Structure 1
Amino acid sequence: MAANGAKCEQPQKRAGAKGKQNGKAIDSSVRERRQRDKEERLSLVVWRRPVTTIHYFLLETLIKLKEWTFQLWQRRGLVSLVLVLCSLFSFAYSTEGSHQQWVSYLEKRFLWCAYWVGLGILSSVGLGTGLHTFLLYLGPHIASVTLAAYECSSTDFPEPPYPDQIVCPQGGGLEGSISLFSIMSKVRLEACMWGAGTAIGELPPYFMARAARLSGADPEDEDYEEFEEMLEQAEGAQGLVTRAKLGVQHMVQKVGFFGILACASIPNPLFDLAGITCGHFMVPFWTFFGATLIGKAVIKMHIQ
């Protein structure tokens, strides 16, 4: 009986060894296949394989157009409402009448807001390499309004020529009537629009990281494993910048909305890392953009 039991155990041990060997062989074959797929994806560039690259580009474009058309059809009520409003505004804009003064006022305000939003986008777009439009445009504008307000003892500058030129109102104002809050109310629209533009400029890193994560499949992907290993190695680093980056990443990852809000509410040159982290860990769009918009356009701008 003992001999029979020993004979029975030997095939089981051999079978277990064979299973481990088969498992290792399967893992190695999967890794080799993933490596081949990765090399093939990297070789898909216009200057190496132009026909194949353009072919895949056209297919992806058609797929995206189909998805967008389906999404618009699902929201056809909202699309119809937007088209009706645009048609009404176009009709009111091109028709003569007493309402033209309101149309011109709205047009002027819209262009003024779009100007500051565009400057805000230029300031934060490009992973921190954008144009510092606060120092070049918004800061001097606030300074000129402040100096003119104290000189004129009023913020009721005649429009026009304001904001192109600041002229004291006739009659002036009372001495000592100018306060910090009156100046803030005068430049609040420009500052908030600039802050909203900076929030919009933070979206490209978020979308790039999100698209890379979606195209990279599952957490077992090698790129994701390398990303995790890089984070583990970075935790042992002692550099100030590295620790600051890890602090931003941990705050965004663990706290969520309020962590993003805290990072966006203070002057933070490392906020691009927050966008990349949110995109990589699939943080919902409105959670990221809502917190960024409130932090940059409301809290941070009033602090500044």
Structure 2
Amino acid sequence: MAENGKNCEQRLSGMNKEQHNGSFTDPSSINERKRRDREERQNIVLWRQPLVTLQYFFLEILINLKEWTVKLWHRRGIVVSFLLLLAVLTATYYIEGMHQQYVRYMEKKILWCAYWVGLGILSSVGLGTGLHTFLLYLGPHIASVTLAAYECNSVNFPEPPYPDQIICPDEEGIKGSISLWTIMSKVRLEACMWGAGTAIGELPPYFMARAARLSGAEPDDEDYQEFEEMLEHAQSAQIPNPLFDLAGITCGHFLVPFWTFFGATLIGKAIVKMHIQKLFVIITFSKHIVDQMVALIGSVPSLGPSLQKLFQEYLEAQRQKLHHKTEEGVPQGENWLSWIFENVVIVMVCYFILSIINSMAQSYVKRIQQQMYSEEKTK
């Protein structure tokens, strides 16, 4: 790998040989050289130079692993304590005994929480350009629980199959026992974990701005300019609100303590904002609201009765599903919809992975270019 790294340096040196002959004392020459170097890095992508990109990607991984290994060695006391705790938990997980029922319960809860935290991270990571998982996952989950609660007159859905599929419990609930707070309590864990994930997703802009400030980057530095370009591109594409990203960048730039920023973001997103969103969805899909909506649709001239009939049929189909067992299957239309949606998510995840590979390969090229700058300045 050291030989590969040397070959990469020679290749980059050959690619930049002409422009590197310019004088470091001429500002126009320096700016032109940096512009060409940036264009050169941007051409290192899988669809243009797949083999070179993969080679640089793996070399950058090795460099990062070496740096992380050194950092872990300096904190070896914490690492040893963590490994001992992991060994104890592993032994507890595999040794048979009465405790296994609690282990399985905790395993299920941890995986469930990790699932929603991960969706929350996907929703807010990437300077606001992430997948809006509230509309795609959490919102529909809250809506289905709300509809089922009023239909079943209970929130004691049997586990399993809940939450994969909602089935009315065999025993009927007490009439009028369903309230807004009952439904909120049922989905509170999922909502709070998703909100916590969105708070974690706000950390990259904070750390990027903080690192830029601590590195002493000035407005005319290349790193600072690249960061500004990336921010402008992200803000022009993101939905729906750039304020949290800007808050993270501002806090990072002014070196606001991590726990001050993250604590406030966590409270705001996982508690305040999440309860507002959850309350809005539950009210929207409450039974009396839905009945009023159906009546309102029926009052529309001409198209109203036909649209009302379609909507009523859809709601009836959803209610019938709540009383059916999982073996009876899912309607064919929903299978197609689910297949399309799953493939869209897979495509987005693949694109995210490709972007990581390209970014790390370009980071390696930038390392070599900066090393060349340093060597020439010392001559």
1:282 aligns with 2:255: yes
| Residue matched to 2:170 | 170
Larger radius of gyration: 1
CA offsets, 1:113-171, max 9 Å, x none?
11111111111122222111111110111011111111222211111111111122232
Do the aligned residues in 1 keep the contact of 2:116 with 2:193 (CA within 8 Å)?
Answer: yes
TM-score, structure 2 normalization: 0.52
| Residue matched to 1:154 | 154
Distance 1:150 1:211, change over 3 A: same
Do the aligned residues in 1 keep the contact of 2:212 with 2:224 (CA within 8 Å)?
Answer: no
**How many corresponding residue pairs?**
235
Unaligned 5+ segments in structure 1 are 1-28, 227-240, 242-266
Structure 1 distance, partners of 2:168, 2:61, is: 58
1:70 positional shift: 5.9
1:223 positional shift: 7.6
Structure 2 distance, partners of 1:186, 1:164, is: 15
| Residue matched to 1:292 | 265
SS, match of residue 90 in structure 1: helix
SS, match of residue 187 in structure 2: helix
SS, match of residue 119 in structure 2: helix
1:269 positional shift: 3.9
Q: CA RMSD in A?
A: 3.8
| Residue matched to 2:188 | 188
1:136 aligns with 2:109: no
CA offsets, 1:59-79, max 9 Å, x none?
9976x7676556545544433
* Same amino acid, percent of matched pairs: 68
Which of structures 1 and 2 has the larger relative contact order (alpha carbons within 8 angstroms, sep 6+)?
Answer: 2
Distance 1:80 1:119, change over 3 A: same
Structure 1 distance, partners of 2:190, 2:97, is: 30
SS, match of residue 177 in structure 1: coil
| Residue matched to 1:107 | 107
What aligned pairs does 1:253-292 form with structure 2 within 5 A after superposition?
A: 268-292=241-265
| Residue matched to 1:119 | 119
SS, match of residue 131 in structure 1: coil
Distance 1:283 1:78, change over 3 A: same
Distance 1:137 1:222, change over 3 A: closer
Instruction: Give the residue type in structure 1 aligned to 2:114.
Output: A
Structure 2 distance, partners of 1:135, 1:60, is: 35
Structure 1 distance, partners of 2:253, 2:108, is: 40
| Residue matched to 1:234 | none
TM-score, structure 1 normalization: 0.63
Structure 1 distance, partners of 2:127, 2:219, is: 28
Structure 2 distance, partners of 1:168, 1:272, is: 42
Unaligned 5+ segments in structure 2 are 1-24, 45-51, 226-234, 278-379
| Residue matched to 1:84 | 84
SS, match of residue 195 in structure 2: helix
Structure 2 distance, partners of 1:125, 1:59, is: 22
